[in-house]
Structure 1
Amino acid sequence: MNNYQFWASSRLVVLGFIERFGYSPLNSFASSTFFCYPGYFMKHLSASLKAIVIATLTCAAGLAAAADSQTLAVTANVSGLCKFSTTSTPLAFGTVDPSLTADKVVPVNVNYKCTKNTSSLGVTAAGGTTRTMAGPTLADTMGYTLAFSGGTQAGKGFGPGQDLILVVTGTITAAQYQNAAAGAYSENVTLNITP
């Protein structure tokens, strides 16, 4: 503590004692003497009052010296995940002409995201990639296959604009649709992605 800090602290303590012992801190002589001539004022203080002031300041200095510090460990763990971003666009083969001889091949994009620098092990379809759509009656079915590409990319995070693209390609061979009954065919496929 420098001289100025000591005097500022002493000033507060002494003024309190002046008021306690019947001296008004607003008294012009006491105030001017204290502020302008601290040496004179301290010289005329009683020995007991001086002792109290010194003891009080010593105690305050001791309290300040008792301050301590502590290091706080802060931790976090980010999970490595991969998730499909939104409901996927249907893989729609559209109208199939059974008189044709070419395979019907249709791709569709499915968006997904992975934690930054986390790569998917791949995408699978529950039940496999060789599939069967149900037709207009229980006896009518139509086979098809699925293929995946782009399902093992390194993630860029889950923020806006960080989507990765999985291309799902469906194929109905001519042999599978040429003898199919007229009507609508469909199936729901569950896709799974594993980081």
Structure 2
Amino acid sequence: MSSRTLSRWIAAAALSSCSLLSWASDTATMTVTATVVGVCKLVSVPTLDFGTLNQATAPVVNPPAVNVTYRCTKGTPPGSFKVGTLTSGPFNGVLSNGTDTITYTINWTPPTTAGSGLGSGVTPIDVPLIGSMPGGANYQNVSAGTYTQSVPIEISP
């Protein structure tokens, strides 16, 4: 066999092995997934301020409502909104200066508006909280000072 014939056989064998390699290949598709869990987040929780109380006349005090704002995952409404541990009002609170106490209430309507997302450009949703403080003896005979209470606000989808 001549070297030329041998070269042709080697080239033919190389070409046929290349075609065998292409017959051995395979393709498939891969599934890619992600799961978004619905969430609700409080954006702002303002202070409910009953202002300076006048013990001489001791009127009922109804300050302007304050808006707690929230955002939820698009299409997700709040499943629970709590003031203190309550999902509906009124919440009965007690302000204290460490010695004396003053009672008050907070009322609200549980929110049902679904969110439109959590990102920038999304307008938060308001939940008005309406405070009321009885007058008269509720605060007529307490000592001077600042009265406070921390009230937890909670939202969940």
Please state which band the TM-score falls in when normalised by the shorter chain.
0.7 to 0.9
Which residue of the other structure, out of 75, 84, 90, is the alignment partner of 2:47?
90
Indicate conservation of the 8 Å contact 2:58/2:140, yes or no.
no
What residue in structure 2 maps to residue 16 of structure 1? none
Counterparts of 1:156 and 1:46, CA distance in 2: 76
Question: Structure 1 residues 176 and 56 mapped into 2: Cα distance closer, same or farther (>3 Å)?
Answer: farther
Q: Does 1:184 align with 2:146?
A: yes
What residue in structure 1 maps to residue 27 of structure 2? 69
What residue in structure 1 maps to residue 107 of structure 2? 147
Q: Which of structures 1 and 2 has the larger relative contact order (alpha carbons within 8 angstroms, sep 6+)?
A: 2
Q: Deviation per CA, 1:91-123, whole angstroms, max 9, x where unpaired?
A: 112112231534323311222111111111242
Indicate conservation of the 8 Å contact 1:144/1:176, yes or no.
no
Which residue of the other structure, out of 131, 135, 139, is the alignment partner of 1:174?
135
Where in structure 1 are there 5+ consecutive unaligned residues?
1-43
Question: Structure 1 residues 194 and 175 mapped into 2: Cα distance closer, same or farther (>3 Å)?
Answer: farther
- TM normalised by structure 2 equals 0.81
Counterparts of 2:6 and 2:25, CA distance in 1: 30
- Cα RMSD for the two superposed structures: 2.3
- The amino acid that maps onto 1:72 is M
- The amino acid that maps onto 1:51 is W
Counterparts of 1:176 and 1:125, CA distance in 2: 26
Pairwise mapping of residues 43-54 of structure 1 onto structure 2 (< 5 A)? 46-54=4-12
Counterparts of 2:63 and 2:46, CA distance in 1: 16
Which residue of the other structure, out of 96, 103, 107, is the alignment partner of 2:65?
107
Moved over 6 A (4+): none
Counterparts of 1:179 and 1:185, CA distance in 2: 14
Where in structure 2 are there 5+ consecutive unaligned residues?
none
- TM normalised by structure 1 equals 0.67
Paired residues in the alignment total: 149
Counterparts of 2:156 and 2:137, CA distance in 1: 31
Pairwise mapping of residues 8-87 of structure 1 onto structure 2 (< 5 A)? 46-86=4-44
More helix per residue: 1 or 2? 1
